[in-house]
Every structure is written in structure tokens, then in C-alpha cells.
Amino acid sequence: MHPGVKYELYALDQLQSSGEQSIRNEQQQQVLKDTMSKEIERIKQTFIHEVFSFEDERHLERYIQYHQQALIRLMDKSALFMRGDQAKDRKRKLFHEVFYAGLEELLVFVERHFTRYFDQDAKAPESYIDIARQDCRTAIKKIENFFSTLQVDQRLIGLLLHVLKKIIVSKTDQGITYRKVMYAKEVLKEFHRLMDLDKKAVDWDEELRQVIYYLNYNAVKVLTYHAHYISSLLDQAETRTEKIEQLSFMLKKINQAQVKPGIRYNLNGSPLKDQLNIYISEEIDYQERLQQLSSSSPDRSQDSLLPGFKLKFEASVAQLAYLLRIFIETKMILNNNLSQVLHFLVRFVMTKRSETISYASFRSKYYNVETGTKESVRSMLMNMIQYIDRG
């Protein structure tokens, strides 16, 4: 028992232990259903009442998650009787079926009404995992048959099927969590959506990559795939400029890709978009340095620029990046090569807080603009307009 947390499932614990006795007739079955129904309702009301009695939110979270784990433990115990060797005893199995149904109702209640405190990284009940395993097995066969007739990069199919196969091969002691089960369900949902599309009108590789971005599939395998994919794009480009254009276009597509809110394959990993942004930005930076080295003139005047001089801005790096984007997209700045503009600015511009601006960071903030940055830049521009009006 968790210290300092009141335990509300004593009656259910005792009732499950009495399951060693079997249900011998319909009357006993109805009595059990009535008993479970009354106890489940009492616990629901207790949970609701306790929510308003806790002043410490962390204590409330412990309270909910402790009972969540206890319910899953009781469900798994009954599930053993329902599907194991003991299931041959029909009367005992019937007891645990009724008992399990009540526990499941209570767990669903906790999940729906206390979503904020429900632990998605707790082990899921074995029955939930069994259903997910069966769904994955059935779906994998259909997916493989569907894509076998199409020109598709099998590495992309393999990446997404890996999520489903991990659920299938998982063992009871490995503790498959709610989050993993739900992620597998999202992958299944996206595969079903793809299989409803017109086969002839789809760039399948791009669609599959968009699914990976949408589901924030931030696994090492995905980053490795992109490293190989990017290398193949660079190998196809004939000039340094083409390489930079390919990388910039890919960065644009990734930054514009939709991401389902609140989802992530690896809870402890950085978002996939961030990982790819850093990787591609560094590759662009490298390619541009090579281009500059190859095109630099040996007789360039050393006095063409004031040594060490930088323009100092009140704005933050994020605000400067968004201002630059506004100027470029409204055609106030006519330079076509964004990379050159960014390199120029990071070399000759500083802010109050940053004397040196990172090229990769500046590029990332150029494409990924937060709402707060937009509002602050809008306010900045309004102040300038008001200054003009006063003049």
C-alpha cells in the first residue's frame, strides 16, 4: 500500500479472494452482479468526493494513480482465471467474468473523469493488450498485402509495422503501457486511412513520411532512415546549389507537416521535428561552407567591412527571425537565397542577450514561429506605425 494514500478497494480485494468459491446458479450470479454494482458505484462517488477534499494536487495524482494500478492488478488476476487452465472450471470462470466487468467499468470511469491524473505510462490491463495484439496481427497481413502491389520504400513500411510488431511479440512481464497501446492504435488508424486512398493518385513514400511526422515517431530508427534518405538526395544532386535547394525544400516540408497534439513515440526523446531540423540545418550549413570556400575570391578587399562591427537589436533572436520572414514574404527583401541572408545576419547582427547567434537556431526560428513571437512582433510594428503617425 502507498503510504499516506487511503485505499478504497478493500471490499473488491476480499470479494475477489472469495472467487475461489464458484457461482453455482443464476441467483448467485445475480447477487454477485448486484454486489459489484453497489460497490463500484460507492467507489465512484468516493473518488468524486475525494477530488474536492485534496488541497495538494500531487497527493491527488498519487491517489488516482495508486487506485489505477490496483484496479489493473485485480483485472489481471481475474483474467488469469478467465483464460488459463482454471478456465476449465466454468462456474469459477463465470465468477471472474462478472468481477472483471465491474473492475473494467470502474477503470474506464477513472480514465474518463480523471484524465489529467491518469497514468498513461502505467502497465495496461492484459485484456487490453490482448485485444491490441489481435488487431495488430489482423492488420499487418492486410497492410503487407495492400502495399506489396505498390512502388513503396519498404523501409518506411517496416518502420511503421515495427510499432505493431512490438505489441505482438511483447510478453506479460514486459509491461506494455497505455501509451504504447494507444500509439499502436494511432498507427493502425493511419494505415487504414491510407488504404482508403486512390492507389494511382498518391506519392506513397511521401504519405508514409507524413504519417511519421504526424505521429511524432521520434525513434532512433526514424532518424537513421532520414540520414540515409538525405544522403541519397544529395548523391542525386549534381551541384552544391542543388544540394542546398534539396535540403531546404525538405526542411520546409518537415516544418509544414502537421503533428497530432500530445503524441510521441519515445516519451523521453526530443520531438522528431526538432531532431530533423537540427540534422538538416547542420547539413545545409556544411554544404554552404563548402560552397563559400570554393567560390571565395583571393583578391577580396580586407577593408570592405568594418572588422568586428555588428548591428545590435533590442529584439530577441526569435523576433528577428520572424521579422526577416515577414520582409522576405512581403517582398521587402528581394534576395532569393535565404541561406545567404541568414548567414549574413548571424555574422553581422547581435541582440541584447545574444552576442553570437547560431545559424541552426536562427533558421529553425525562421520556420517555427510561436504565437507569442507573432504577438510581440505585431506590437513592435504597431509601435513603429504610431511613431510615424505622430511625426
Rounded average pLDDT per 10-residue block, the chain, 391 residues: 71 78 72 88 88 79 89 87 63 82 90 86 86 92 91 93 91 78 94 87 90 96 95 84 90 93 90 94 89 62 62 90 93 88 88 81 87 92 92 74
- Taking residue 149's Cβ as centre, other Cβ atoms within 10 Å add up to 8
Tell me if 328 is assigned to some domain: yes
- pLDDT, position 48: 87
Residues 178 and 94 in one domain: no
Question: In the structure grid, which three cell numbers stand for residue 166, read together?
Answer: 512490438
Q: 3-class SS at 313?
A: strand
Residues 145 and 278 in one domain: yes
Residues 29 and 106 in one domain: yes
Handedness of CA 327, 333, 337, 343 (dihedral sign): negative
Last residue of a domain, one of 81, 101, 119: 119
- pLDDT, position 306: 63
Contacts of 258 (CB under 8 A, 6+ apart): 210, 213, 214
Residues 202 and 61 in one domain: no
- pLDDT, position 84: 57
Residues 269 and 249 in one domain: yes
Are residues 318 and 380 in contact, defined by beta-carbon separation less than 8 angstroms?
no
* Whole-angstrom distance, CA of residue 230 vs CA of residue 103: 50
Residues 93 and 141 in one domain: no
- pLDDT, position 303: 47
Number of domains in the chain: 3
Q: Could you give the angle at which helices 57-83 and 90-113 cross, rounded to 10 degrees?
A: 160
- pLDDT, position 262: 87
321-349 exposure pattern, b = at least 16 Cβ within 10 A, e = fewer: bbbbbeebeeeeeeeeebbebbbebbeeb
Q: Looking at the whole model, is its pTM more than 0.75? A: no
Residues 107 and 133 in one domain: no
Q: Can you give the residue range of the structural domain that contains 27?
A: 10-119
Exposed / middle / buried, residue 33 (Cβ in 10 Å: 0-12, 13-18, 19+) = middle
Question: In the structure grid, which three cell numbers stand for residue 41, read together?
Answer: 458505484
- pLDDT, position 304: 52
Q: How far is residue 110 from each of residues 11, 17, 42, measured CA to CA in Å? A: 18, 23, 13
- pLDDT, position 307: 67
Through-space distance between the first and last CA atoms of the chain, rounded to whole angstroms:
73
Residues 195 and 285 in one domain: yes
Tell me if 364 is assigned to some domain: yes
Exposed / middle / buried, residue 196 (Cβ in 10 Å: 0-12, 13-18, 19+) = exposed
